[in-house]
Amino acid sequence: MPDPVSRRTFVSASLCTALTAAASTACAQQGGSTRIFDVADHGARGDGTTDDAAAFQRAIDAAAAAGGGVVRFGAGTFLLRLRPAEDKTGVEAITLRSRVTLQGTDRNRSILRLADGQRGTGTYARIVSSTGSLVGAVVRDCTIDANRTGQGAFRDDGNGGALVLGLGGRCENVAVERVTIRGANGQAIMLLGAIDNLGRNLRIADCLVERASYIGIQSSQFDGLVIERNTVTDCVDNGIDIYGNNDVTHSTVATSRNGVLRGNTIRNCSIGIFLETVADCRTIENDITDCRGAGIRVNRINGEPRNLSILNNRITGGPVGVAMGGDTGGVTIGTNIVRGFSKAGVLFGYNVSYVTITGNQFFPAAPSVPIVLGEPIKLGRDPEEQLAFITIRGNRVPRGHRADRMFVNRYRKEWQINAGDFRPTLG
């Protein structure tokens, strides 16, 4: 059943190891004896004033024509201006090709900078883009300065993004590594698939994202995704967002599956990690601070969130630790440390089912704050919202926390709720 609060338009440790190995193998195939194409040899200046977009494109196209290679750019600020996109959807600066690695020296010295005044009304704009399916491509060791402040009246547009790969096709064996993106209009990093052509073996690792006007890191329609050790701060919308609804047939089966979100640091975003209509995903060992809506949210549109593990995360500040909306096929919230929440450690809204909350440590902002709160969006809805198959056990709370605020349930319809015990043992 759709979650009325949704506004989207758009595994196991062994799985994580396998995906990382696959991505590393794809990267290795780009190196070694693979040819090097230096953008300087194709006319790039890196002086911060010359438009270097055409030189980058010549180097990328030469590498692609040779069957693949590394397009290398050294120290400098490479100014980029936008041009009509090859896919005729908006504008872009650089079009990445399959089997091409775009590689700087490092993120401190190799900077791609969008020129001032490139955005316009309703413009779907991308700095680094691709046309259709993208296979065996890598972007690494550079900074993309998306220059949001230089876009004038359009500085807060959310249409497009800095690094958008797979639009109109899919990404397969694609990695983004050690990339800094500052001030993106829209999303900072997007790796995409399609409902009938899922992205596969995707990896976003060791990146820094700051001040995006929409989402920091997003991936949708995938089978096999690793997002690890990234830092995402100060985004207007979600820090990390993965999505798998079938917006065509409205199937109850989530299209995106087999993902690992691990070891990321997220601060001051709307929601830290947003898991929307995805299956077989693990959200583990992330550090999430001061997010305005919730640290982590699980949401359902049509596709059923299924077999999700939210484990060993540290969530600090904000109103809610973990929020849930929509019936699920099984979500475990376990062994997390949730501190300083002002509304609820775990919040249920709308219909929610098949959730286990176990072994967590909750440190609310005050003794009156509910540890777990069941709060329907609208009482008296037809049919009435309900909780079903909820298990809460073995969670630790501070000594002196009010007994009547452990599990506050405002639902009028429920089925098989086992609230279990809360252990007031924390100092």
The residue to which tokens 């680094």 are assigned:
128
Query: So what's the pLDDT on residue 122?
Result: 85
Residue 345 phi, psi (nearest 5):
-70, -45
Q: What is the pLDDT of residue 420?
A: 82
Residue found by looking up tokens 């700051």 in the block: 210
Six-digit token string for 164: 């958008």
**In the prediction, which pLDDT does 33 show?**
56
- Which pLDDT value is given to residue 421? 85
Torsion of CA 411, 415, 420, 426, to 10 degrees: -30
Give the model confidence (pLDDT) of 363-422 as tens digits. 999 999 999 999 999 998 989 999 999 999 999 999 999 999 999 999 999 999 999 889
C-alpha–C-alpha distance, residues 195 and 253, integer Å: 11
- Give pLDDT < 50 ranges for the chain: 1-32
Q: Is the dihedral of CA 289, 292, 294, 296 positive or negative?
A: negative
What pLDDT, on a 0 to 100 scale, did the predictor assign at position 136? 98
Q: Measuring CA to CA, which residue among 215, 219, 211 is closest to residue 180?
A: 211
| pLDDT, tens only, 142-201 | 999 999 999 999 999 989 999 999 999 999 999 999 999 999 999 999 999 999 999 999
**Which residues, 6+ apart, have CB-to-CB distance to 403 below 8 Å?**
none
Nearest partner of 338 among 370, 298, 377, 308, judged by Cα:
370
Looking at residue 215, what is its pLDDT?
98
The set of residues, in sequence order, having a beta carbon less than 8 Å from that of 9 and lying 6+ positions away, is 247
The three-state DSSP-derived secondary structure of the chain is CCCCCCCCCCCCHHHHHHHHHHHHHHHHHHCCCCCEEEHHHHCCCCEEEEECHHHHHHHHHHHHHCCCEEEEECCEEEEECCEECCCCCCEEEEEECCCEEEEECCCCCEEEEECCCCCCCCCCEEEEEECCCEECCEEEEEEEECCHHHHHHHCCCCCEEEEEECCCCCEEEEEEEEEEEECCCCEEEEEECECCECEEEEEEECCEEECCCCCCEEEECEEEEEEECCEEECCCCCCEEEECCCCCCCCCECCEEEEEEECCEEECCCEEEEEECEEEEEEECCEEECCCCEEEEEECCCCECEEEEEECCEEECCCEEEEEECCCCCEEEECCEEECCCCEEEEEECCEEEEEEECCEEECCCCCCCCEEECCCCCCCCCCCCEEEEEEECEEEECCCCHHHCEEECCCCEEEEECCCEEEEEC
Q: What is the pLDDT of residues 413-425, one digit of tens each?
A: 999 999 988 999 9
Give me 337's structure tokens.
């440390």
Residue 29 to residue 26: CA distance in whole angstroms: 5
pLDDT score at 415 = 95
Residue 302: what pLDDT?
97
Interatomic CA distance for residues 104 and 178, integer angstroms: 10
The whole-number pLDDT of residue 3 equals 37
Task: Name the residue type at position 82.
Answer: L
